[in-house]
Amino acid sequence: TQLLEQSPQFLSIQEGENLTVYCNSSSVFSSLQWYRQEPGEGPVLLVTVVTGGEVKKLKRLTFQFGDARKDSSLHITAAQPGDTGLYLCAGFGAGSYQLTFGKGTKLSVIP
């Protein structure tokens, strides 16, 4: 099993602050996905990164895939209460259809 380590596990910040969530592995992934999950719901895809060094932006969210395709980060600028949720990274290992998830980062943005 290829493991994905997410940090931090919990994050509580004030509205307007910036934050970064990390997703690391010792294994190479063919692609990495970021999901957001709200209480009582299933995860919903935010973005997929495929190429080493790739940067994708989704409004105030910036996603980066490491050059070696072993790590990724999610940066949120000027966090808002609506960003509150569980953020999960997930990846397909090389040559595998198994989608492995990290344990998630629980983000609370306080108004």
Partner 1 sequence: DVKVTQSSRYLVKRTGEKVFLECVQDMDHENMFWYRQDPGLGLRLIYFSYDVKMKEKGDIPEGYSVSREKKERFSLILESASTNQTSMYLCASSLWGFAEAFFGQGTRLTVV
Distance from C-alpha of 10 to C-alpha of 53, rounded to nearest angstrom? 26
The gap from C-alpha 32 to its chain's centroid, in whole angstroms, comes to 9
Choose between 10 and 14: whose C-beta lies nearer to partner 1: 10
Stretch that binds partner 1, among 20-28, 62-70, 72-80, 92-100 (CB under 8 A): 92-100
Stretch that binds partner 1, among 14-22, 55-63, 68-76, 102-110 (CB under 8 A): 102-110
- Which of the residues 44 through 83 are near partner 1 (CB under 8 A)? 44-45, 48
Please report how close the Cβ of residue 15 comes to partner 1 at its closest, in angstroms: 26
Choose between 66 and 102: whose C-beta lies nearer to partner 1: 102
Q: Which two tokens stand for residue 6?
A: 């997410």
- Is the preceding omega at residue 8 within 30 degrees of 0, hence cis? yes
Of 105, 62, 108, 106, which Cα lies nearest the Cα of 81?
108
